[in-house]
Amino acid sequence: MSATAPARASALATRTLWRAGSMARRSPLLAAGGALAFAIVVVTLAAPLIAPYPADAGTATHPAQALLAPSAAHLFGTDEVGRDLFTRVLYGGRVSLPIAAIVLFGSCLIGVPLGLIAGYFGGWIDEVVMRVTDVFLAFPPLLLSLALAAVLTPSVKTAVIAITATWWPWYVRLIRGQARAVGASSYVETARLLGVSTPRLLFRHVLPNCLTAVVVQVSQDLGGVILTAATLSFLGLGAQGPTPEWGTLVSEGQDYFPTQWWLVTFPGLAILIAAFAFNLLGDGTRDMLDPKAQVRRR
């Protein structure tokens, strides 16, 4: 038995690599976006091991080293109080990426059940849910996020609440349409006639057939949530210093930009690269999972 274990592991690794290669050939966007997003996540998780000055992610100050240009000792230079900017950008991912993950999880937690119920039952339940949803959708998402954040105490928690409050209605609309289509299908009608309970129908038949659309939408929304969170922090309505959120870092460095360009450039590039990576991932996921796209490829 022990002699076959390495062979099985090798076969599993070979199959995994073959599937990854096949996926890369079918969807270069997914491969490129997935690789870049994976690299960002790994670097973010490994920030305590990679960062040369971990204390600079917090309240540490070094006035004698303030506003130093990029060098071998400080790859991204230092900020106005002497903190290593490379360290702060690395740790900024540990703030920005969890914000995006929590916002989208909360949006799904609210939007998916409401959309499922509205689409499956229809009638007055659908009317009530969709009219409430339309109220939120009537406002531009960023404007509504700014308005909500402005009445709360600026913090990471405030940013999460404000963005989630504007993001969940899109999932209600998405799942409502999917649930209506699946609920009207012949196999669901047959299961209903056979006496299958409503909860079992919803969670064993309707919801699983809606999850592909949710996965695609979440992958496409990651970049947008990161940009929205950075915008709130940049305007002083989200994360506050010394928390090294990427938008906060850009806000802190904007007054020094004409002479100390690195204070804005490197956090801005981090936002750009992360948004680009997750947008590629979202587009690639859509191309892989969208039945219409699959038919076109054939």
pLDDT recorded at residue 25: 59
Q: Specify if 13 maps to a domain.
A: no
Neighbours of 270 (CB within 10 A): 23
pLDDT recorded at residue 258: 86
- Give the span between the Cα atoms of 281 and 289, in whole angstroms: 12
Query: In terms of Cα–Cα distance, which of 37, 96, 98, 41 is closest to 278?
Result: 37
Q: Specify if 23 maps to a domain.
A: no
The token pair that represents 178 in the structure block: 């999917």
pLDDT recorded at residue 291: 54
Q: What ranges in 46-84 are assigned the alpha helix state H?
A: 47-50
The token pair that represents 277 in the structure block: 């990576």
- Give the span between the Cα atoms of 295 and 291, in whole angstroms: 6
Phi, psi of 3 (to 5 degrees): -70, -25
Q: Specify if 2 maps to a domain.
A: no
Q: Specify if 61 maps to a domain.
A: yes
- Give the span between the Cα atoms of 267 and 126, in whole angstroms: 44
**Is 164:152 a contact under the CB 8 Å cutoff?**
no
pLDDT recorded at residue 282: 85
Query: In terms of Cα–Cα distance, which of 51, 98, 79, 14 is closest to 264?
Result: 79
Q: Specify if 18 maps to a domain.
A: no
**CATH number, position 246:** 1.10.3720.10
pLDDT recorded at residue 2: 47
Q: Specify if 206 maps to a domain.
A: yes
Q: Specify if 3 maps to a domain.
A: no
CA-atom Rg of the chain in angstroms: 23
What is the domain range of residue 122?
30-297
Query: What angle (nearest 5°) sits at the alpha carbon of residue 27, between those of residues 272 and 8?
Result: 110
Alpha carbon 35 to its chain centroid, in Å, reads 15
When divided into structural domains, the chain yields a total of: 1
Q: Specify if 135 maps to a domain.
A: yes
pLDDT recorded at residue 84: 96
- Give the span between the Cα atoms of 282 and 272, in whole angstroms: 15
Q: In the chain, which stretches have pLDDT less than 50?
A: 1-3, 16-18, 20, 295-298
